[in-house]
Amino acid sequence: MTALTIQNLWKEYGDQIVLESVSLTIAPRAFVALVGPSGCGKTTFLRMLLGQERQTRGTILMDGLPLPPEPGPDRGVVYQRYSVFPHLTALQNVMLGPEFQAARLAGRLWGAKRRALVDKAAALLAEVGLAGAEGKFPAQLSGGMQQRLALAQTLMMRPKLLLLDEPFGALDPGIRTEIHALMRRLWHEHTMTVVMVTHDMREAFALATRVIAFDRPRNRPEERERYGATITNDIAIWPPRVAGRQTIYDADIPASQDDLTRFAIHSGTPRSVAGA
């Protein structure tokens, strides 16, 4: 149950102010989508949550404690590219995190421990729809499969906070719809808070519990240097989605639910409504 409190966050690169006075509280198990135009600091904000970059001013608290200054296993990340290791097979990619954790010197496991980990990793690969691809290298997988692999690799660490940096931006619409269904299911089943940067508004509203828009309130050319972006919109999705509980939008609806052209077909079917 991981809550984030961001207080008066500023990020400057030299004279250039990228983000200014960002204050935000993210509830445990929320799924927050960050949207906004290119160059508005969404990714910079995500990197600060990750620990890859330090804020210039302000504090980020995770469960009330200041964020460690470098990335760690409590915060997982999936990027649009380079999220998996090209020199490891799918199975090895998923096993890597636990191997790092268990063997601080060799970074590898042998014997019974290894076999147990192989089983666990294979089960997770099957869960994300990659059964049968265990021995393949990432370059032999399609873009969608690579992102599924990246999710599985990250989830092996049971991160408290999952950070997604335009993870599905490079995928075909059909593949994207499928992986949205997976993402939604993973969010329900794993105890984590998700923050996702995306360009795709439909994706943001299809997945998130809350959509936050970053933008520059002052955007004249002479102002761009000295005024950064900040939160301009904060939209709670209605009806609310609750992790681990089905709501009227997350009932037993097939993967095509956010494909609006097929939505009409399903609109007449009864839905098992549970929770609120």
Partner 1 sequence: MRLINIHPGKGERFLLAALPFVLLALAYLIGSALRLADNPGDKLLPSLASMGRMIEVMGFTPDKRTGDYLLWTDTAASLFRLWTGLAIATAIALVLGLLNGVLPVARAMLAPFVAFLSMVPPLALLPVLFIVLGLGEVSKIALIVIGVAPILTRDLALTAADLPREQIVKAETLSASSWLIAWRVVLPQVMPRLIDSLRLQLGPAFLFLIAAEAISAEGGLGYRIFLVRRYLSMDIIFPYVIWITLLAVAMDLGLRLIRRRLYPWAGVQA
Binding site for partner 1 (CB under 8 A): 50-52, 70-73, 75-77, 79, 81-83, 85-88, 96-97, 99-101, 104-105, 107-108, 137, 139-140, 153-154, 156-157, 159
- Rounded least distance, CB 124 to partner 1, Å: 14
> What's the closest the beta carbon of residue 9 comes to partner 1, in angstroms?
20
CB of 54 to partner 1, least distance (A): 14
Three-state DSSP at 48 gives helix
Task: Give the three-class secondary structure for 154.
Answer: helix
**What's the CA gap between 8 and 5, in Å, rounded?**
10
Helices H / strands E in the chain, number of each: 7, 10
Nearer Cβ to partner 1 (76/228): 76
- d(CA 23, CA 33) in angstroms, rounded, equals 16
In the complex with partner 1, the residue whose CB is nearer, 36 or 138, is 138
Q: What's the closest the beta carbon of residue 100 comes to partner 1, in angstroms?
A: 5
Q: Which is nearer to partner 1, 105 or 112 (CB)?
A: 105
Q: Nearest distance from residue 219's CB to partner 1, in Å?
A: 29
For residues 241 and 233, give the distance between their C-alpha atoms in angstroms, rounded to a whole number. 19
CB of 41 to partner 1, least distance (A): 18
The CA distances from residue 95 to 140, 180, 196, 227, 234, in Å, are 18, 24, 24, 44, 38
Compute the least distance from the CB of residue 96 to partner 1, in Å.
Answer: 6
Tell whether omega for the bond before 239 is within 30 degrees of 0, i.e. cis. Answer: yes
Q: Which residues lie below 8 Å from residue 106, measured CB to CB, with a gap of 6+?
A: none
**Between 72 and 239, CB nearer to partner 1:** 72
The token pair at 16 is 């250039």
Nearer to partner 1, 43 or 209 (CB): 43
Tell me if 67 sits within 8 A of 161, measured CB to CB: no
Smallest Cα–Cα separation from 80: which of 187, 191, 171, 175? 171
Q: Between 41 and 51, whose beta carbon lies closer to partner 1?
A: 51
Beta-carbon count within 10 A of 7 CB: 14
- Going by C-beta distance under 8 Å and a sequence separation of 6 or more, which residues neighbour residue 87? 137
Q: Which of 267, 274, 266, 271 is nearest to 246 (CA)?
A: 274
Min. distance of Cβ 110 from partner 1 in angstroms? 15
Question: For partner 1, which is the closer residue by CB, 198 or 230?
Answer: 198
Q: Please say which residue, 161 or 211, places its beta carbon nearer to partner 1.
A: 161
Are 190 and 159 in contact, with CB atoms under 8 Å apart? no
